[in-house]
Amino acid sequence: MSERMRLSRPVYQWGYVLAGVIVIYVLINEALPHMFTVWSRVYVAQPVLWCFLILGVVLASRYGTGGKLTFTKSLLWIGLLLGLFQLACLAIAGLLAHFGDSPYTHTPYGVFLNTVFFGSALVAIEFSRAYLLSRFTERNTTLMVVLIALVFTFVMISLDRITGLDGFSVFPFLGGTLIPTFAENILACFLVMMGGPVASLGYRGTMKAFWWFSPILPQLTWVARAFVGVLAPVVSLLVVQSMYGEAEAKPVPEKPEKRKRKRSSVVGWVATAIVAVVIIWFSSGIFGFHPLVIVSGSMEPSISVGDVVMVRDVDIDSIVVDDVIQYVRGSDTTIHRVVEVRQENGSTLFITQGDANESPDAQPVYPEQIKGRVTLVLPKIGWLSIGIKNLIS
The 10s digit of each residue's pLDDT in 196-247 is 899 999 999 999 999 999 888 888 887 788 888 888 888 888 777 766 654 4
Can you give the pLDDT at residue 320?
A: 92
Can you give the pLDDT at residue 350?
A: 94
Lowest pLDDT segment from 8-17, 114-123, 153-162, 352-361? 8-17
C-alpha count within 13 angstroms, C-beta hemisphere, residue 155:
24
pLDDT of 360 > 90? The answer is yes
The 10s digit of each residue's pLDDT in 190-205 is 899 888 899 999 999 9
pLDDT of 6 > 50? The answer is no
When pLDDT is averaged across residues 175-183 and rounded to a whole number, the result is: 87
Q: Does domain 289-392 have CATH number 2.60.40.1120?
A: no
Can you give the pLDDT at residue 286?
A: 57
The 10s digit of each residue's pLDDT in 26-37 is 999 989 988 888
pLDDT of 139 > 80? The answer is no
Angle at 233 between CA 102 and CA 223, to 5 degrees: 60
Can you give the pLDDT at residue 230?
A: 83
**pLDDT interval class at 252 (50, 70, 90):** very low
The 10s digit of each residue's pLDDT in 288-330 is 777 777 888 899 999 988 888 888 888 888 999 999 999 988 8
Can you give the pLDDT at residue 26?
A: 92
Share of the chain above pLDDT 70, in %: 78
Domain ranges, ordered by start, for the chain? 2-284, 289-392
Strand 370-378 versus strand 347-353 pairing type = unpaired
**pLDDT interval class at 387 (50, 70, 90):** low
Q: Which of 268, 224, 276 is nearest to 91 (CA)?
A: 276
Query: How buried is residue 309: exposed, middle or buried, by Cβ count under 10 Å (0-12/13-18/19+)?
Result: buried
Can you give the pLDDT at residue 262?
A: 45
Lowest pLDDT segment from 44-48, 175-179, 368-372? 175-179
The 10s digit of each residue's pLDDT in 87-103 is 888 888 887 778 888 88
Can you give the pLDDT at residue 392?
A: 41
Can you give the pLDDT at residue 67?
A: 67
pLDDT of 266 > 50? The answer is no
**pLDDT interval class at 393 (50, 70, 90):** very low
When pLDDT is averaged across residues 349-353 and rounded to a whole number, the result is: 94
Can you give the pLDDT at residue 17?
A: 87
Q: Report yes or no on whether pTM surpasses 0.85.
A: no
